[in-house]
Amino acid sequence: MARMPYPLRSPVRSPARLTSHLLEPTRHLHLAPPFLLDNHTPRYLSLPPTTITHKYSLCHTHLLNCNLCPRLCSTNRYQTTGYCLIPATTVSINTLAPHFGEEPCIQGHNGSGAVFFSGCNLRCVFCQNWDIAHRKNGFDVTPEELGGWMVKLQEVGKVHNINFVTGEHVVPQVVQAVLAAREKGLKVPIIYNTSAFDSLESLELLGGVVDIYLPDFKVWRAESSKRLLKAEDYARVARESIKKMYEQVGDLCFTGDGIAKKGVLLRHLVMPGMEEEGKEIMRWVAGEVSRDMFVNIMEQYRPDAHVGKSARSTKASLGSEQLDGVAVTEQDGERSATTKVRYSEINRPVTGEEVSSVRRAAEDAGLWRFCDPVRHDGFNI
Ligand code: SF4
């Protein structure tokens, strides 16, 4: 049973109100006043000119000696590229369109104006976008050109927001694009949709520019992040980054139309056999960041990318045959072969019980704002 959100939702009623309440059906919108905004002006519209100049200068300085993410490549991106494969003056975009695969409060009726970048600073072995994340696979545009596309998404697509997906490696270009779009008439909120493998320097650049942070806190243990994300210090960085994001924009807030306008929405994709890590993440969020964090515990994990592929390093011979990814065992003179696959421990979907156990841990820790299926005719807010 979901925890009742806030005492504010159960005021003492006068007898007259009580009577009318009994006669009329009650709608529960899961919305408490602290999270309801009368209106919202995107933060980038309020930036003073001196801050804008400072941000442009910071963008340039960081790109000259790039330590903008925890990979700390120290490359001059005007001359070469680092781990993320993206230079200084352009970004590589794979898809730019109204997107309907986000949370209801993000996509609304018209969609979220998604900008899917190519390249990434992680190498998740299970990545569902590996074809654009692990390699450069998109069209190159300058920040100014991207700003023009953002305005087009707003004017033609009528999207509710601009949603930068996996932009950890192109933060200076993202900031420059928002500032260019502001000059061209952009007025919808900005979403930064991230793996949370961000640096504090990046988040400083994004401060005052981003309205909503969507961090996906993936795994808790260093052994897991080293093996599955190829980044041993992932969880430490994610903890630091999410705290900084929360410091900037606070809890997720909505306007009366049910669309999120500012704050942090934290995601966690439950992984097979790794529910204990999900529980740790929930306890940390509730204890160290906010019990009012809006949380999406996601269950859509499916094996992808390198997971479940033949383990090419094990080559065995069975009789006259040479086989890739096969382990041969011998017992009582009988030889048998089993196919070995990579990352076999996560080569299956998650179970309902694994997802439920993370949810229970989240509730036990005091979290109560979840992205659940709607039980009314609006958005779940
Ligand atoms: S943003 Fe790219 S170049 Fe810069 S430190 Fe990260 S991976 Fe390296």
HEC-encoded secondary structure of the chain: CCCCCCHHHCCCCCHHHHHHHHHCCCCCCCCCHHHEECCCCCHHHHCCHHHHHHHHHHHHHHHHCECCCCCCCCECCCCCCCCCCCCCCCEEEEEEEEECCCCHHHHCCCCEEEEEECCCCCCCCCCCCHHHHCCCCCEEECHHHHHHHHHHHHHCCCCCCEEEECCCCCHHHHHHHHHHHHHCCCCCCEEEEECCCCCHHHHHHHCCCCCEEEEECCCCCHHHHHHHCCCCCHHHHHHHHHHHHHHHHCECEEECCCCEEEEEEEEEECCCCCHHHHHHHHHHHHHHHCCCCEEEEECCCCCCCCCCCECCCCEEEECCEEEECEEEEEECCEEEEEECECCHHHCCCCCHHHHHHHHHHHHHCCCCEECCCCCCCCCCC
Q: Quick one: pLDDT at residue 313?
A: 55
Q: Which residue has the higher pLDDT, 127 or 323?
A: 127
Domain membership flag for residue 47 = yes
Average confidence (pLDDT) over 216-231? 97
**Shared-domain flag, residues 169 and 315:** no
Regarding the beta carbon of 120 and ligand 1, being less than 6 Å apart is answered no
**Shared-domain flag, residues 287 and 209:** yes
> Structural domain of residue 42, as residue ranges?
28-305+349-370
The torsion angles phi and psi of 324, rounded to 5 degrees, stand at: -80, 145
Between the CA of 217 and the centroid of ligand 1 the distance, in Å, is 20
Domain membership flag for residue 14 = no
Between the CA of 334 and the centroid of ligand 1 the distance, in Å, is 52
Neighbour tally for 353: CB within 10 Å = 8
Beta bridge partners of 191: 163, 212
For position 91, which CATH number holds? Answer: 3.20.20.70
Atom of ligand 1 nearest to the CA of 74: 5
Q: Which residue has its alpha carbon closest to ligand 1 atom 1?
A: 169
Length of the chain: 381
Question: How confident is residue 23, by pLDDT bands cut at 50, 70 and 90?
Answer: very low
Atom of ligand 1 nearest to the CA of 86: 2
**Shared-domain flag, residues 248 and 313:** no
User: Quick check: 12 pLDDT over 50?
Assistant: no
Domain membership flag for residue 36 = yes
**Shared-domain flag, residues 102 and 200:** yes
Q: Which residue has the higher pLDDT, 25 or 314?
A: 314
Average confidence (pLDDT) over 252-272? 96
Q: What percent of the chain has pLDDT over 90?
A: 74
Atom of ligand 1 nearest to the CA of 83: 7
**Shared-domain flag, residues 195 and 334:** no
Q: Which residue has the higher pLDDT, 317 or 208?
A: 208
**Shared-domain flag, residues 194 and 85:** yes
**Shared-domain flag, residues 206 and 355:** yes
- State both tokens at 221: 């243990």
User: Quick check: 5 pLDDT over 90?
Assistant: no
Domain membership flag for residue 253 = yes
User: Quick check: 13 pLDDT over 80?
Assistant: no
**Shared-domain flag, residues 177 and 319:** no
How many C-alpha atoms does 177 have within 13 Å on its Cβ side? 27
**Shared-domain flag, residues 212 and 319:** no
Domain membership flag for residue 20 = no
**Shared-domain flag, residues 50 and 104:** yes
Q: What is the pLDDT of residues 156-192, one digit of tens each?
A: 999 999 999 999 999 999 999 999 999 999 999 999 9
Q: Quick one: pLDDT at residue 177?
A: 98
**Shared-domain flag, residues 192 and 325:** no
Average confidence (pLDDT) over 111-140? 91
Domain membership flag for residue 107 = yes
Q: Quick one: pLDDT at residue 375?
A: 65
Question: How confident is residue 323, by pLDDT bands cut at 50, 70 and 90?
Answer: low
Between the CA of 205 and the centroid of ligand 1 the distance, in Å, is 15
Between the ranges 33-47, 139-153, 297-311, 361-375, where is the mean pLDDT highest? 139-153
User: Quick check: 373 pLDDT over 80?
Assistant: no
Between the CA of 176 and the centroid of ligand 1 the distance, in Å, is 17
Q: What is the pLDDT of residues 66-97, one digit of tens each?
A: 999 999 999 999 999 998 989 999 999 999 99
Domain membership flag for residue 50 = yes
For the chain, give the mean pLDDT: 88
Domains contained in the chain, number? 2
Question: How confident is residue 349, by pLDDT bands cut at 50, 70 and 90?
Answer: very high
Q: Which residue has its alpha carbon closest to ligand 1 atom 4?
A: 66
User: Quick check: 318 pLDDT over 80?
Assistant: no
> 102: Cβ–Cβ under 8 A, 6 or more apart, which residues?
112, 114, 163
User: Quick check: 231 pLDDT over 80?
Assistant: yes
CB burial readout 333-347, b (16+ within 10 A) else e: eeeeeeebebbeebe
Q: Quick one: pLDDT at residue 379?
A: 58
User: Quick check: 25 pLDDT over 50?
Assistant: no
Q: Quick one: pLDDT at residue 133?
A: 85
Domain membership flag for residue 380 = no
User: Quick check: 52 pLDDT over 60?
Assistant: yes
CA angle centred on 239, ends 91 and 197, rounded to 5°: 20
Q: Which of 131, 128, 139 is nearest to 86 (CA)?
A: 139
**Shared-domain flag, residues 34 and 114:** yes
